[in-house]
Structure 1
Amino acid sequence: MMLIQQFPDISLDDTLFVFALEAEAGSVFAEVNTVFTGIGKVNAAIALTKAIARRRPKLIVNLGSAGSLRHGKGEVVCCTRFVQRDMDVTPLGFARYQTPLADIPLVLEQGAVIPGLPVETCGSGDSFEINHGDAPYDVVDMEAYVFALIAREEGIPFVCLKYISDDAGSDAAQDWAVQVHLAAKAFERVLFTAVD
């Protein structure tokens, strides 16, 4: 039997593992509750909302690939802060990344810390980021912000781990294609422990 080390009181049957793509899960997660949302914030919102309605999980664990200038390829980081990096309504007087007329902080804080992992801020957006410079996030992906926001709205504990597949630079697309298939084994090492 396998249990998530940080949540020993929540069974795997009550845990929903959320990935954008099947390639990020490999065969490691074949025997647990998974949902594959597809790429981007809209697909992520639709798929996770439907999965929650069907299963009512007690824990949501988002696992996926991401880019980072700060962390090396193959590293796993824990994200507990989220920015919607493509939200820009500055011409109307709102701060960059702020969702207008919504009760959502600029930086959404949501999720449990996994001891031993770097804790970072993830910038999610509907573009493959290759140049984020001085942005208020250290990791980039295309879905995590939505997962964190839905978990907050539904009152469900949340964990977000990202496998760094690329440096979010000019070679990111080629690096991602090679690295994404290694993510599942890295997640397995971090999350699971054998239990008698």
Structure 2
Amino acid sequence: MTDSMALMMALPNESKGLFEAEGINVHYSGIGKINAAFKAFEVIQKTGCKTILNLGTAGSSIFDAHALVEVTQFVQRDMDVSPLGFPIGTTPIDTDYPAEIILDPHFSDLPKGICGTGDSFETGTPKVPCHLVDMEGYAIAKVCKKLGVRLISVKYITDGANDTAHLDWEENLLLGAQKLLSLYKSI
């Protein structure tokens, strides 16, 4: 990894201390879009990075558990102002940035997906079409887009975004951290 790249994850649970044990600096945002946006802005301002690498976990009813998936598009699964005539997933009067934030792919060997971000732990079908769900990615992507910083995002699928998602997420964190660390070392 180059000096112009900063690594962001939501929680220390997602790295299980493996990154720190290797001397890798991880910027943890905390859970949710507000925390992620604030941390992304802070990291860019403090480090001057040209790229943020966002590694983390996600649920999916499309991709198999334990898969690594590169996100090539982020959408907001919890933005719903449809009673006022706006499409679900669209922030009203935000004409500078579309509802879908497109990322340039980085990894040729990983499956690609659309990630729906929302401030809830998804256990059903999101209102906005997407392949996987998280709680931070869209916010990071929007900050990066506004500040002209590249975002690369890879998610480890811990669960099926269903009624056992919370149990599966906990159970699969260590294997996810191991796979994400291996991917990180390959950059």
Task: Give the TM-score category using the shorter length.
Answer: over 0.9
Aligned residues: 184
Aligned structure 1 segments of 4 or more residues deviating by more than 3 angstroms: none
Q: Which residues of 2 match residues 10-89 of structure 1 at below 5 A? A: 11=2, 13-30=3-20, 31-89=23-81
Distance 1:40 1:157 in 2: 20
Distance 1:191 1:50 in 2: 22
The DSSP-based 3-state class of the residue aligned with 1:164 is strand
The DSSP-based 3-state class of the residue aligned with 2:168 is helix
Gaps of 5+ in 2: none
Distance 2:126 2:144 in 1: 29
Paired residues of 1:70 and 1:138 also in contact (CA < 8 A): yes
Return the letter of the residue paired with 2:47.
R
Q: Which residues of 2 match residues 52-131 of structure 1 at below 5 A? A: 52-102=44-94, 103-131=96-124
Distance 2:184 2:11 in 1: 19
Return the letter of the residue paired with 2:160.
D
Distance 2:91 2:127 in 1: 20
RMSD between superposed Cα atoms in Å: 1.6
State TM-score, norm by structure 1: 0.88
> Are the structure 2 counterparts of residues 48 and 133 from structure 1 closer, same or farther at C-alpha, using a change threshold of 3 Å?
closer
Paired residues of 2:77 and 2:126 also in contact (CA < 8 A): no
Deviation of 1:156 after TM superposition, in Å, equals 1.2
- Equivalent residue number for residue 158 of structure 1: 151
Paired residues of 1:111 and 1:160 also in contact (CA < 8 A): no
Identical pairs, percent:
36
Distance 1:133 1:94 in 2: 17
> Are the structure 2 counterparts of residues 122 and 178 from structure 1 closer, same or farther at C-alpha, using a change threshold of 3 Å?
same
